[in-house]
Amino acid sequence: MPEREQDQNPFVLVLFGATGDLAKRKLFPALYELFIAGLLNRRFAVVGIGRSPISRPDFQAGVRRSVTNFSRHSLRDGQSWTDFADHFDFVSIDVNDPGGYGAVRELVEAKEREWEIPGNRLFYLAMPPDLFGTVSAHLKKSGLTETGGWKRLVIEKPFGHDHASAKQLNEQIQQSFVEDEIYRIDHYLGKEMVQNIEVIRFANSLFEPLWNNRYIANIQVTASETVGVEERAAYYERAGALRDMVQNHILQMMMMVAMEPPSRLDMEAIRDEKVKVLRSLRRFSEDEVNRYVVRGQYTAGTVLGQAVPGYREERNVAPDSATETFVAAKLFVDNFRWAGVPFFIRTGKRMAQKVTEIVIQFKEMPNIYFNKNGDLSPNLLIIRINPTEGMYLLMNAKKPGADSEVIPVAMEFCNNCEIESPEAYERLLHEAIQGDSTFFTRWDEVSLAWQFADPIRRAWDRDASLLLTYPAGSWGPAAADQLLAQDGAHWWPVYDPKSRPVVQPIERPGIFAGRY
């Protein structure tokens, strides 16, 4: 990552949805953080686009509010608010009306002259996905995509709702932008520890030799949330956890863990290796789904001490909704490295804790020496992504003072205990401006991920009886535990940020239980 201001690309950000939630909560604060960190070239402009007519000063005041409410830092010495705000302009158009794009073009060209920007345009569509095709077609027709520099399109998920719709959308977009110019955001790829997985794997001689089915028993990926469906029922009712989290974020994390070392550390080589994981990912037939995938929906319960309603009682949710708010699955990557190693995944809303983490469980020691009774804890490498960022390596050692008592001990590295990591959007926005698409999803990844998810969705749509329930505040339906129990495994308890990271004596032999 270039760290000097003069190494940063000058650009115009043409931001659709500039008065929306994403711009307010994530994008303006991200731009601001990059600005104060010297990671934006001073020759930049933001042309915000929205439907309601807003004056330039009002738009800038809105940007200021969002920065005040959501940024990590305040201005540094010598920096003034107007130095930042001067770069922001607004134009109001109806994005469905091709007539409006002339005004956008004029403003963009004026800003390029004013800030001496060589026609580098980043079109960011922070808007409902059903508009992606229309907007990209109008961008081309209006001549906005003819630039003297580069052009790039940044789009948010969901990218379609199944393989057919994603393919159609992709074909529409590719009328105006080639694949290299399309930056599909999966914000999990912007998370510090997700990006760190390749470093942990490929910068440590300790792990890579063990990173295979000879030494690893299973891998567990958890992305649990305590929030419910919030204000997004209209979207979530049609998406469900499979489309909302598994098809994208969970599979992306799996790819980072399971990929082969790339031939070079460059964006295409890395994405080539990630895509191979999806090619080897076992696809379940509709009849097999029930054996490997569990779906659940939350009922009323207590989350973090607060009573909360069940999913079907949430606003704008159908009283007989069959939408899943939880998915657990046992997946397999059928290649030479991973054959036979189950990847257990789980994600859900209204669960006991907000946690994203990956547990690599190593194989057990033979039943000799200290493991005669088979009660020694296996070694675990835990990659913590949220809320704590770091790594945790669990080993066995002699209990101090005891003759032969063995206890699990931990080596912990905390990434965000001392320094605050940048937000995913800061990193992703910066990478898009710099033209680094390593941590954006390529079309073949999206396509294969849908081809994996579609049969599961079809099986569920066919048979609503596969929907289980779980009380809000729990870890999901019991069937999610049985999925592992069949293999003699169990979910490892997730780290509780409130408790000190100290290994507790084992409650049940062989399992280090409760807290670390």
3-state SS, one letter per residue, for 201-245: HHCCCCCHHHCCCCCEEEEEEEEECCCCCCCCHHHHHHHHHHHHH
- Residue 324 interacts with ligand BG6 (CB under 6 A)? no
Q: How far is the CB of 197 from ligand BG6 (least distance, A)?
A: 16
Task: Pick from 89, 112, 181, 244 the residue near ligand BG6 by CB under 6 A.
Answer: 244
Q: How far is the CB of 356 from ligand BG6 (least distance, A)?
A: 6
Please list the residues that pair with 281 across neighbouring strands. 333
Q: How far is the CB of 244 from ligand BG6 (least distance, A)?
A: 5
Amino acid in position 162: D
C-beta nearest to ligand BG6: residue = 244
Q: Using alpha carbons, list the distances in angstroms from residue 26 to 30, 55, 68, 99, 425.
A: 6, 22, 12, 30, 6
Q: How far is the CB of 357 from ligand BG6 (least distance, A)?
A: 11
Sheet of 11-16: strand order equals: 88-92, 44-50, 11-16, 121-125, 151-155, 182-184
Output 192 or 375, the one with its CB closest to ligand BG6.
192
Instruction: Give the separation between CA 516 and CA 501, rounded to whole angstroms.
Output: 5
The phi and psi torsions of 343 (rounded to 5 degrees) equal -105, 110
Output 200 or 424, the one with its CB closest to ligand BG6.
424
Output 225 or 445, the one with its CB closest to ligand BG6.
225
Instruction: Give the separation between CA 300 and CA 313, rounded to whole angstroms.
Output: 8
Q: How far is the CB of 424 from ligand BG6 (least distance, A)?
A: 7
Residue 460 exposed, middle or buried by CB count within 10 Å (0-12, 13-18, 19+): buried
Which of 185, 181, 207 minimizes the C-alpha distance to 196?
207
Q: What sign does the dihedral 93-95-96-102 (CA atoms) show?
A: positive
Instruction: Give the separation between CA 316 and CA 312, rounded to whole angstroms.
Output: 9
Draw the binding track, 64-103, toward ligand BG6 (x: CB under 6 A; -: no contact): ----------------------------------------
Q: How far is the CB of 176 from ligand BG6 (least distance, A)?
A: 25
Q: Is 249 a catalytic residue?
A: yes
Positions in 31-70 near ligand BG6 (CB under 6 A): none
Output 112 or 225, the one with its CB closest to ligand BG6.
225
Contacts of 364 (CB under 8 A, 6+ apart): 217, 371, 374, 376, 378
# of chain residues touching ligand BG6 (CB under 6 A):
4
Please list the residues that pair with 179 across neighbouring strands. none
Q: How far is the CB of 82 from ligand BG6 (least distance, A)?
A: 32
Residue 210 exposed, middle or buried by CB count within 10 Å (0-12, 13-18, 19+): middle
Positions in 494-513 near ligand BG6 (CB under 6 A): none
Catalytic residue among 87, 161, 187, 249: 249
Task: Pick from 225, 324, 357, 423 the residue near ligand BG6 by CB under 6 A.
Answer: 225
Positions in 368-427 near ligand BG6 (CB under 6 A): 386
Residue 119: Cβ within 10 Å count: 16
Task: Pick from 66, 224, 356, 437 the residue near ligand BG6 by CB under 6 A.
Answer: 356
Output 47 or 241, the one with its CB closest to ligand BG6.
241
Q: How far is the CB of 318 from ligand BG6 (least distance, A)?
A: 18
How far separated are the first and last CA of the chain, in Å rounded?
A: 35
Q: How far is the CB of 129 from ligand BG6 (least distance, A)?
A: 12
Instruction: Give the separation between CA 451 and CA 278, rounded to whole angstroms.
Output: 10
Output 49 or 185, the one with its CB closest to ligand BG6.
185
**406-437 burial: b if 16+ Cβ within 10 Å, else e:** bbbbbebeebeeeeebbbbbbbbbbbbbeebb
Residue 486 in tokens? 């069949």
Output 91 or 472, the one with its CB closest to ligand BG6.
472
Residue 266: Cβ within 10 Å count: 12
Instruction: Give the separation between CA 203 and CA 194, rounded to whole angstroms.
Output: 15
Residue 409 in contact with residue 427, Cβ under 8 Å?
no
Interacting residues toward ligand BG6 by CB under 6 A: 225, 244, 356, 386
User: Which residues form the catalytic set?
Assistant: 249
